[in-house]
Amino acid sequence: MEAKLSVNRQNAISRIDKRLYGSFIEHLGRAVYDGIYEPEHKNSDADGFRKDVKEVVAELNVPLIRYPGGNFVSGYKWEDGIGPKEKRPRKLDLAWRSMETNQVGIHEFAKWAKEVNAEVNMAVNLGTRGIQEAVECLEYCNFEGGTHWSDLRKQNGSVEPFGIKTWSLGNEMDGPWQIGHKTAEEYGRLAAETAKAMKLVDGSIELVVCGSSTSKMPTFGDWERIVLEHTYDYVDYLSLHCYYGNKENDIGNYLAQSLDMDRFIKTVVSICDFVKVKKGSDKQINLSFDEWNVWYHSNDQDKELEPWQVAPPLLEDIYNFEDALMVGCLLITLLKNADRVKIACLAQLVNVIAPIMTEKNGDTWKQTIFYPFMQVSNYGRGVVLTPHVESETYGSKDFAEVPYIETIAVHNDETDELVVFAVNRSEDRDIAFTFEEEGFELETITEATELAGYDKKDTNATNHDLVKLKEKSEVVLKDSRLSTVLKPLSWNVIRIK
């Protein structure tokens, strides 16, 4: 089978906002406690954070990390996480029915995030709390000094404000599972008034308002419209969340689900633009896909866990090779929509549906999905070029026409490098792939790698080094035309100068 990707320098989708490669750390399971924070571990720093974990996080080059939830935030009192650690309260976390010790709070997390070179995307609790607490949290974090909350921050050790730029107005407020679940009207009003007040404290912040928890919610569509009708003038981004899985063990249909993500994004863009027209506004609302990933492997085992544990092993999906291909398809889909998706967060980062796993008192290791995310985050910077793709298609259970190839090219105008990302979705057919460009003068292939040749269900759980990048051979560049073979079920990255 053959497939072709053509691009033209003059024809770009958008400059990529680096926050497209954000991630997420929630007070959930072993993400914080026994994940990034394990004071007893031999590799921990003076603050109790694992240095080995920080090093692996840094490899992913995530510019933004959403915190502290997730469902957790809808019952969270941010003040419980400040002041002397020994005085911080132990609280029931109702969202995950766990015990929250509050040994990590905003000071510790902000410092950790800075060390891994990431900004914090801070969520406020609009489940059990409201405008006042959100405004106070912002004042505590960002106000210079001379007020009760900003001086308390100084007293607690941070003289300089945290300077948090991106804020989320609650989490998944459309979901009946959410503590303080609201109707679109109720949430829209609360979010608008909270946003208004927060921007009075700090006009430089950007705000993300909650869209639907998935496109399968019965309120999807109406929720976005109503919430935006209330909040349009005060917010900057609308959120989308989606998790995928291969429960039916049908890889053709599984890998096709990135088409669902594409449709979801385009539908939400239409709703944003509909409200824009209705309001006669000049302002454009962009999207924050602030939870996306594969999540299904751990669903059954999570039902067996005893409640009220500190750091229970929740949502510990062990990813296999086919999940890495799926994450590759989802990343390419986000890039294809980079004109409107400005923020995206791989949910999550450590231990909880994560690319990075840690063992208590032990090692840290990389899941299969680590590799596509690492490569796109590091090399997918600059401008994403409009892809013209020629490919055969197949039909799957839920999708009529699925291209065998999912592909995109990015031009990094700082390093003047062109990078091609491609997934071959076929289980048994090679793709003879050509890449053609206009407007660049390409001379050398600087790196070509692939994830290929594994069993679909191979994981890195036992042999932490099993699924990993390999050098890709037989990549030929001649007269600005690149040709190579994409092996069946493969993730491919080719960097050209």
- Which residues are designated catalytic? 172, 291
61: which 2 tokens? 């080059």
Comparing CA positions, the residue from 450, 369, 490, 349 lying closest to residue 27 is 349
Looking up tokens 């609009």 gives: 126
Residue 212 contacts ligand AHR per CB under 6 A: no
Instruction: Give min distance, CB of 24 to ligand AHR, in A.
Output: 7
User: Of 79, 172, 317, 406, which lies in the binding site for ligand AHR, with binding defined by CB under 6 A?
Assistant: 172
Closer residue to ligand AHR in complex, CB, 190/409: 190
Residues 6+ apart with CB under 8 A from 496: 417, 418, 419, 420, 442, 444, 445, 446, 477, 482
Task: Report which residue's Cβ sits closest to ligand AHR.
Answer: 70
377: which 2 tokens? 């985050």
Closer residue to ligand AHR in complex, CB, 348/490: 348
Contact of 171 with 86, CB cutoff 8 Å: no
Options 68-76, 131-139, 269-277, 297-305: segment touching ligand AHR (CB under 6 A): 68-76
Site residues for ligand AHR, 11-40, by CB under 6 A, read 26
Site residues for ligand AHR, 341-400, by CB under 6 A, read 347-348
Residues 6+ apart with CB under 8 A from 79: none
Instruction: Give min distance, CB of 301 to ligand AHR, in A.
Output: 15
Give the per-residue contact string, 124-163, with ligand AHR (x = CB under 6 A; - = no). Answer: ----------------------------------------
Residue 71 contacts ligand AHR per CB under 6 A: yes
Instruction: Give min distance, CB of 148 to ligand AHR, in A.
Output: 31
Closer residue to ligand AHR in complex, CB, 116/347: 347
Residue 171 contacts ligand AHR per CB under 6 A: yes
C-alpha torsion angle, residues 36, 39, 43, 49 (rounded to 10) = 40
Give the per-residue contact string, 287-326, with ligand AHR (x = CB under 6 A; - = no). Answer: ----x-----------------------------------
Contact of 219 with 114, CB cutoff 8 Å: no
352: which 2 tokens? 């909880």
Query: Is the link from the previous residue into 155 a cis peptide, with omega within 30 of 0?
Result: no
Give the per-residue contact string, 331-350, with ligand AHR (x = CB under 6 A; - = no). Answer: ----------------xx--
Instruction: Give min distance, CB of 314 to ligand AHR, in A.
Output: 9
Applying CB under 6 A, the site for ligand AHR has a residue count of 10
Instruction: Give min distance, CB of 243 to ligand AHR, in A.
Output: 7
Output the DSSP codes for 287-340. Answer: EEEEEEEE--TTHHHHHTPPSS-SS--TT----BHHHHHHHHHHHHHHHHTTTT
Closer residue to ligand AHR in complex, CB, 173/205: 173
What CA–CA distances, in Å, run from 135 to 12, 125, 142, 485? 39, 11, 10, 55
Residues 6+ apart with CB under 8 A from 335: 13, 16, 20, 376, 380, 384, 408, 410, 421
Closer residue to ligand AHR in complex, CB, 224/291: 291
Residue 69 contacts ligand AHR per CB under 6 A: yes
Residue 100 contacts ligand AHR per CB under 6 A: no
d(CA 300, CA 318): 13
Interacting residue ranges for ligand AHR, rule: CB under 6 A? 26, 69-71, 171-172, 213, 291, 347-348
